[in-house]
Structure 1
Amino acid sequence: MDSAAGSRLVQQLQAESQRQKFTEQVSTLTSRCWDICFNDSRPPAKMDGKHSGCLANCVDRMLDASQFMVDHLQNSQLAK
């Protein structure tokens, strides 16, 4: 395998890893926010504004918390 092919393979593996992490994050957010916003395990017959707003706010809070942690860890690494 030449250098260019190896480089492409590494890039493809990194892209696949990022896709997998994104999929895992979406699944985690969906599960956590569903449990928070829907006390009943049954899905509603129709999505109303209350549930829709709850899901949107929950996801926003989770993403903000995740970004805060990433920023904090990066700042900690830079301070060393």
Structure 2
Amino acid sequence: MKLEPTAVKPSVARLKRARGQIDAVIRMLEAGEDCEAAVTQLAAAAKAIDRAGYSIIATGLKQCYREEGPDGLDAERMEKLFLALS
């Protein structure tokens, strides 16, 4: 299933923010900065990536349900997507 770019725009923004946080962590580590600050930024990036993933799955579920009805949902495939994020 292909998602509409406008439907996933918030997820794209969240992923770009996470990319910035990861770049900041790399700079911090290369500069020998405080470990605690680097780990805090890394945790924030990980959470942003997780949220983006769940948001993308939710958007796909809504779109699939809208286009194909409840019988069009492949529960096994959706379960695999959710578990891939855990």
Q: Give the TM-score of the pair, scaled to structure 2.
A: 0.44
Q: Give the TM-score of the pair, scaled to structure 1.
A: 0.47
Larger Rg: 1
Structure number with higher relative contact order (C-alpha < 8 Å, ≥ 6 residues apart): 2
